[in-house]
Structure 1
Amino acid sequence: MVWRRTLFAKRFATVVCTMPSLRLPPSLAAERQRGVGAGVWRWLAGALLCAVLTGCASLPSAVDRPVSSALANPAETRLGAAVAARAQQAGTRNDSGFALVGDAELAFSSRMALIQAAQKTLDLQYYAIFADETTERMFDALRDAAARGVRIRLLLDDFNTSGKNAQVLRLAFEPNIALRLFNPLPGGRGSMVGRVLSNLKDTARMQRRMHNKMLVADNAVAITGGRNLGETYFGQGQDSNFVDLDVLAAGRVVRELSHSFDLYWNNPLAYPVESLMTAKEIDALKPPPVQDAVMAPAALPATGTPPETTDLRLLTWTWAPSALLVDKPSKIAGDADATEAAQDTTVDGLLQLMAQARRSLLIVSPYFVPGERMLKAFADLRRRDVQIRVLTNSLASNDAPAAHVGYARYRRALLGLGIELYEMRAEQRGTFRSFGASALGSGNAGSRASLHSKLVVMDDALLVVGSMNLDLRSQLQNSEVAIAIRNRAISAEATRLVEPTLARDAYRVELRDQQLWWRAPPGAVFPDASAEPDASLGLRFITTLIAPFAPDEML
C-alpha cells in the first residue's frame, strides 16, 4: 500500500508540476482566475479520455537531419552593414550594441522589422508559438521572406505543439522554411494535457524543455528575452496579457547566439517535423468551421492592432561590454544527469554574477522558487548589507499556480533575511503601463496582467535579460539563454521600466506579528490584504491541495 501511495504521489506531482509550462487555454484562463469552474473540469476530463485512447507510440529511429549553420559573412547584408556603420558612428571599442524592448507593440513590430529586413537567413528558436491572428501575421511575413530567397530555420520545443497550436507546424511544408521540434513527445497532439498523461512513463525526459527564445536576422541583429510568440505576449489578448522584456542585440554577441542556435539545430534531439507528422495529419487537427452564424460566439470587442513594423534605427542603442549565458543542448539529453556536473548552466552563471553584488540587486522573475542553494546565496549577500528587491507574480496574476506554491514555501524565509518582496497585481488601472507597455492598447484596458519578464539589475551597473526564471526548473530542467550587459545607462533604463510597477501596481509583502501582510502602495486604489489578494477561494484551495505533491525541482 505504501508503494502504491508513493507511485500515485509521483504521477500526480508530475501532472501538477508541468503547470509552469502547461497553461490553460485562453478561453479558460480568466475562469481559472475567478475560480475552478465546470469548464475547467470538462477540459481536464476530455484530456484524460484522450490520453486513455492514445496507444503506445515511439519516436522514429532513422531521421535525416541535414547539417546547416548560420550565415558566415553577415557584413555582406544590409543589416550587417548597418550594424558596422552604427558602431563606427558611436565611436566605441565595444563590439555589441543593445536596445531594450519593454513595449508590447514594439516587441511585435521589432520582430516584423527583422523578418522584413533579412536578405539571407532567419533563425527562430522558441519554447512556444501559439496559433492566433498575431502570429499568423508573422507567419505571412516569414512566407514572404522565404519567397524572396531567405533561408528560414525554425526550432521549436515540442511541448506546446498540440490542439490548435499544431497548425504552426504547417510552416514546415512551405518552400525555403525548415522546422524542427526539440525533444518531441510521442503520441497524439489532440490535447496538451492528453500528451502529458500519455507520456507519464517518461517523466524525466518530458520535464526537460528547450526554453530558449531568440530571433536572428542575417546573423547581424537578434532579439531575445522572455517572450514566446502569441497574442498575449504582444498585448492582444482579450482576457489577459503578459508583461515582458526583450533586448535587441547587434554585433559580436549575435554571432554567439547563432552559434548556440546551430548547436541545438544540429542536435539529435531536433527532429524535422516531416519525420513526425505529415501535412495531412496536421490538417486533420484543424478545428471544425462554424457552420451556423446563429450558434457562433458573440464577437469580442476589437483590440488595437500592432503596427506592421518599426524603424530600429530610431531606438536608443547602447554599445557595451557583454557576455552570453546559454545552456548546452546536452542539458536536456537523456543522460543529462551524468553531464550536469561538468557544465555551468545559465542560472549558475547568473548566480555567480549576483554573488559579486556590492550594493543592490533588483530581481524580476515571474516564477520565483529559490531553493536552498539560492536562499543561502541571498543570506550571504544580506550579511554584506546588499539590498535585494524581488518582483514576482501574486497568486492571482500567476498563470502557473504550482510555481506559486513553490515560491510561497520560501516567502517567510526571504522576508526574514530582509529581502523586499513585491507581488504584481493581476488587475491594472486603465491601460496597462508597466514596463513601458502602454501599447497594450485601449481595447485591452480591462485585460488582466501576468508578469513574464526575467531580468536582474546589479549595483545599477550590470543588466541580465533572458529566458530564465529564478527557479530550480530553469536551473536544473530547462535550457535557457541570457545576455549580461555591463553598462549603467541601460541598467538605469531597465530599472525605470520596473519602478512604476513597484510604486503603483504591486503589493509589498511584509511580516506583521509573524503573519503575512500584503501592503498596497501609497495612494493605491486597492486595499491592503491579510491573505493572497485578488485570488478566489477556489484558487487558494487548489494551491493548498497541490502543495504536498509539488517538489521544488519540478516547479
Structure 2
Amino acid sequence: MPLSPRAFPALLRCLGIVLACLLSACAGLPPHASAPAVTAIPASPATELGRLTVPYANPPDGRSAVRVMPQAAFALDARLSLIRHAQTSLDLQYYLLGNDKTGKLILRELRDAAQRGVRVRLLLDDFYTVKLDPMLLGLSAYPNMEVRLFNPFVAGRDHAATRWMGFFADFHRLNHRMHNKLFVVDGALAIAGGRNLADEYFLRSRDANFIDLDMLLAGPVVNELEGIFDTYWNSEVVYPLHAVVQPIESPEALRTRFDALTSPVVAPPPDPTPETDVFGEPPLSAVLASGKLALIRARADAVADAPTKALGLDAQEAGGRQRPPTLAERMLGLFDLAKSDITIVSPYFIPGDAGMEHIRRLRARGVQIAVGTNSLADTDEPLVNINYNNYRVAMLKEGVTLYEVSSTQIRRSRSLRRVFGQSRGRLHAKLAMIDREWILVGSLNFDPRSAYINTEVGVRIQSFEVAHQVIDAMQIDNVDSVYKVQLKPGTDQVQWVSTDGDNAVLDDEPDANLLVRLKLLMFSWFVPTDLL
C-alpha cells in the first residue's frame, strides 16, 4: 500500500528534500473547460432494478430502505451483481481503486456494462492512481465510459517518488483528498459505507484485511446520493482523465492493453458467496435472480462535504460564499441529541482538544460513550495511533469505554480466525450510533483529516432494527477478540485487558515492541495533529 497523505509531512521534514521538490513543480493544472453539467439518469420502472425498487421509490412517509452488509463476500457480490444487472447508469465515486485482482475485476465489469450500453461514470480521487493510467485510459476508450479525477496530480504521475515531489511542491492543494465511497446503479440502488475497491476490503489480500461495513440503500435517499455524486462530478476540483493524461496510443491499442491488464487470468472472480449472511439473508445475486427484494424500511438521508472543501475551509468562505457545514460538524450536532449513549467505531480516532471538550459536555449529561479503534500494532496508520494515545488517558478519566482491535486477539477467536486466516485483521468500518436508534455510516473517520482536510460522505439512518443489526454484526454488546483499555488502579498508566475469556492484563502496548514505539514517537514530533 502506498504511503498515505498523513505520512508525507514527516517525510518532508525528515528527508530534507524541500528544495528538490520545489524544483519539480513544472506543470500546473489544465484549464477547467466549461461544459454542460452531466446529471444522473433517474430510476425507471422500465429497468429491472427500477421495477424491484418501485415499492420503496415514493413512500408516503418518506422512508427509504436499507440492508446492512458487514461481510466482505456479500459486499463484493452486491457490487458485482449490481454492475451486471445495470441497464441505464453506473455512478462510482471512490478514494481508492486497487491495482490488484479486485480493482481490475471491477474495471472489467464496468467495461462489460459500458459495452451493453450502460452509461458509466467513474470518479476517483487521484492520490492512489499510481500505475493506473494505462488501465484508466483503456477503459475510457470504450463508448459510454468516462473517468474523472478529483484534485489530480499533473507532473510525474507514473512514479510514487515523483508524485511525492509534486505533493510537497503543491502541498496546500494536494493535501486535500476526496475520501468518499459511493456506488449508485440505475438511480435505483446505492451502496455507501467504508469499503474502497481493493483486495483488502473484501478479504482477498494475503497480508492484511479489513473489518468493514456497507449499507445497501433504496428509496428517496438514493436520489440524494445521486445529487451528491452529480455535485462532485461537475465540480471545479474534478477534471476529465484526458485533460490530465493525454493518450499516445490509438483507442484500439488502449482497449487491447486494458483487456490484457484486466483479464480473468490476473483478475479472477471471487470464490462463491455463502448461501446466507449473518442475518440469514441470501446474497444480492440470488435476490436479484429471484426478482424479490426485501429491505428494512427506515428514515435515511445522505450528507456530504462540499467538493470545494478541497480548496480549504477558509477558501470556501472567501468571496462571500457561505461555507456549508461539514459532515464532521453535522455528526457533532447529532451527538448533541444523544440522551443515553453513543458508540463510535473508527479505525483512526483523534478527538483533539475540541472533541475532548465535547466528550466532557456529553459525559456531564450522563451520556455513555464507547469507542472502538485499532491498536498500535495493527493500525495501517500508526502515526494516527500515536496521536490518539495523547488523548487516551483523558478519555478514560472521563469514563469513556475504549476498545482496540488486535490481530493477536482475532487469531484467538475460532470464528474470526477462519475469516482472516493468516492475514492481519484491522478495523476499517466507520460508524457512529446514538441511543441505539440513529446511525451514521460512511467514509468519515473521527480525526482532524476527515474533519478539516478530506471530503467525506455518509448516510444517517433512524431505525432500531437497523441499529440492532449493526450491534450484532459489530459485536457491540458482546465484545470479543479485542482489548479493553483501562487505567491501572490509582495511576494514569494504561492497561489492556483481553476479552477472549482469559482476561489477561498487559501493561505495555500489545504486540508493539519498544523500537517501534520509539520510532513512531519520533515521527509524531514532525506531524501536526491537525494533518492527521
1:537 maps to which residue?
A: 514
1:310 maps to which residue?
A: 285
2:50 maps to which residue?
A: 80
Report the alpha carbon displacement of residue 458 of structure 1 after superposing the two structures with TM. 0.9
1:514 has 2:489 as partner: no
1:429 has 2:407 as partner: no
2:157 maps to which residue?
A: 189
In structure 2, the CA distance between the partners of 1:521 and 1:83, relative to structure 1 (3 Å rule), is: same
1:70 has 2:40 as partner: yes
Letter in 1 for 2:46: E
Preserved contact between residue 330 and residue 336 of structure 1 (Cα < 8 Å): no
Report the alpha carbon displacement of residue 172 of structure 1 after superposing the two structures with TM. 2.1
The superposition leaves residues 86-143 of structure 1 with CA deviations (integer Å, 9 ceiling, x where unpaired) of: 679xx97343101111000011010011111111000000011011112222222111
Report 1:277-296 matches (<5 A): 277-280=245-248
- TM-score, L = length of structure 2: 0.85
1:57 has 2:27 as partner: yes
1:199 has 2:177 as partner: no
Q: Distance in 1 between matches of 2:209 and 2:509?
A: 21
In structure 2, the CA distance between the partners of 1:509 and 1:17, relative to structure 1 (3 Å rule), is: same
The 10-residue stretch of structure 1 (539-548 or 243-252) with the greater mean CA deviation from structure 2: 539-548
1:393 has 2:374 as partner: yes
Letter in 1 for 2:450: S
Unpaired runs of 5+ in structure 2? 261-267, 274-282
The 10-residue stretch of structure 1 (271-280 or 492-501) with the greater mean CA deviation from structure 2: 492-501
2:103 maps to which residue?
A: 135
1:299 maps to which residue?
A: none
Q: Distance in 2 between matches of 1:447 and 1:271?
A: 37
Q: Distance in 1 between matches of 2:432 and 2:425?
A: 21
Report the alpha carbon displacement of residue 67 of structure 1 after superposing the two structures with TM. 2.5
In structure 2, the CA distance between the partners of 1:304 and 1:16, relative to structure 1 (3 Å rule), is: closer
Report the alpha carbon displacement of residue 487 of structure 1 after superposing the two structures with TM. 0.7
Letter in 2 for 1:533: P
1:547 maps to which residue?
A: 524
The superposition leaves residues 351-372 of structure 1 with CA deviations (integer Å, 9 ceiling, x where unpaired) of: 1001111111110011101112
1:323 maps to which residue?
A: 301
1:380 maps to which residue?
A: 361
Q: Distance in 2 between matches of 1:87 and 1:269?
A: 32
The superposition leaves residues 146-194 of structure 1 with CA deviations (integer Å, 9 ceiling, x where unpaired) of: 1110000001111111136764453222221100001112211233354
1:157 maps to which residue?
A: 125
Report the alpha carbon displacement of residue 53 of structure 1 after superposing the two structures with TM. 9.2
The superposition leaves residues 386-438 of structure 1 with CA deviations (integer Å, 9 ceiling, x where unpaired) of: 1111000111111011211221111111111100010100232278856xx97
Q: Distance in 1 between matches of 2:7 and 2:429?
A: 14
Q: Distance in 2 between matches of 1:478 and 1:150?
A: 31
1:476 has 2:452 as partner: yes
Letter in 2 for 1:137: L
In structure 2, the CA distance between the partners of 1:315 and 1:514, relative to structure 1 (3 Å rule), is: farther
Report the alpha carbon displacement of residue 500 of structure 1 after superposing the two structures with TM. 6.5
The superposition leaves residues 60-93 of structure 1 with CA deviations (integer Å, 9 ceiling, x where unpaired) of: 12536552100134343221221113679xx973
Report 1:160-175 matches (<5 A): 160-163=128-131, 167-175=135-143
**Could you say what secondary structure the match of 1:211 adopts?**
coil
The superposition leaves residues 446-475 of structure 1 with CA deviations (integer Å, 9 ceiling, x where unpaired) of: 110111100111111111111001111111
- TM-score, L = length of structure 1: 0.82
Q: Distance in 1 between matches of 2:402 and 2:381?
A: 19
2:277 maps to which residue?
A: none
Between structures 1 and 2, the one with greater helix share: 1
Q: Distance in 1 between matches of 2:32 and 2:343?
A: 48
User: Which of 394, 407, 412 in structure 1 is aligned with 2:393?
Assistant: 412
The 10-residue stretch of structure 1 (270-279 or 150-159) with the greater mean CA deviation from structure 2: 270-279
Letter in 2 for 1:79: L
Preserved contact between residue 507 and residue 518 of structure 1 (Cα < 8 Å): yes
Preserved contact between residue 430 and residue 446 of structure 1 (Cα < 8 Å): no
Q: Distance in 1 between matches of 2:4 and 2:104?
A: 31
Letter in 2 for 1:468: L
Preserved contact between residue 97 and residue 317 of structure 1 (Cα < 8 Å): yes
In structure 2, the CA distance between the partners of 1:322 and 1:358, relative to structure 1 (3 Å rule), is: same
**Could you say what secondary structure the match of 1:533 adopts?**
coil
Preserved contact between residue 120 and residue 145 of structure 2 (Cα < 8 Å): yes
In structure 2, the CA distance between the partners of 1:108 and 1:280, relative to structure 1 (3 Å rule), is: farther
The superposition leaves residues 332-381 of structure 1 with CA deviations (integer Å, 9 ceiling, x where unpaired) of: 12675442973211111111001111111110011101112221111111
**Could you say what secondary structure the match of 1:504 adopts?**
coil
**Could you say what secondary structure the match of 2:192 adopts?**
strand
1:446 has 2:422 as partner: yes
Report the alpha carbon displacement of residue 48 of structure 1 after superposing the two structures with TM. 11
1:19 maps to which residue?
A: 6
Q: Distance in 2 between matches of 1:533 and 1:159?
A: 32
User: Which of 466, 478, 497 in structure 1 is aligned with 2:442?
Assistant: 466
Letter in 2 for 1:553: D
Preserved contact between residue 371 and residue 403 of structure 2 (Cα < 8 Å): yes
User: Which of 107, 120, 127 in structure 1 is aligned with 2:88?
Assistant: 120
**Could you say what secondary structure the match of 1:342 adopts?**
coil
User: Which of 101, 120, 130 in structure 1 is aligned with 2:69?
Assistant: 101
**Could you say what secondary structure the match of 1:320 adopts?**
strand
Letter in 2 for 1:211: H
The 10-residue stretch of structure 1 (323-332 or 468-477) with the greater mean CA deviation from structure 2: 323-332
Preserved contact between residue 75 and residue 214 of structure 2 (Cα < 8 Å): yes
Q: Distance in 1 between matches of 2:47 and 2:444?
A: 31
Q: Distance in 2 between matches of 1:446 and 1:424?
A: 16
Percent of matched pairs sharing the same residue: 35
Letter in 2 for 1:272: P
Preserved contact between residue 422 and residue 502 of structure 1 (Cα < 8 Å): no
2:263 maps to which residue?
A: none
The superposition leaves residues 286-319 of structure 1 with CA deviations (integer Å, 9 ceiling, x where unpaired) of: 9xx9xxxxxxxxxxxx997354972346776211
Report 1:265-276 matches (<5 A): 265-276=233-244
2:470 maps to which residue?
A: 494
Unpaired runs of 5+ in structure 1? 1-14, 23-40, 290-301
1:457 maps to which residue?
A: 433
**Could you say what secondary structure the match of 1:108 adopts?**
helix
Q: Distance in 2 between matches of 1:430 and 1:48?
A: 46
Q: Distance in 2 between matches of 1:65 and 1:520?
A: 58
Report 1:207-356 matches (<5 A): 207-280=175-248, 305=271, 307=273, 310-312=285-287, 317-333=295-311, 336-339=314-317, 342-356=323-337
> May I ask how many residue pairs the two structures share in their alignment?
497
**Could you say what secondary structure the match of 1:122 adopts?**
strand
Letter in 1 for 2:286: D
Preserved contact between residue 343 and residue 432 of structure 2 (Cα < 8 Å): yes
**Could you say what secondary structure the match of 2:384 adopts?**
helix
Q: Distance in 2 between matches of 1:419 and 1:319?
A: 32
Q: Distance in 2 between matches of 1:253 and 1:531?
A: 46
In structure 2, the CA distance between the partners of 1:75 and 1:350, relative to structure 1 (3 Å rule), is: farther
Preserved contact between residue 331 and residue 339 of structure 1 (Cα < 8 Å): no
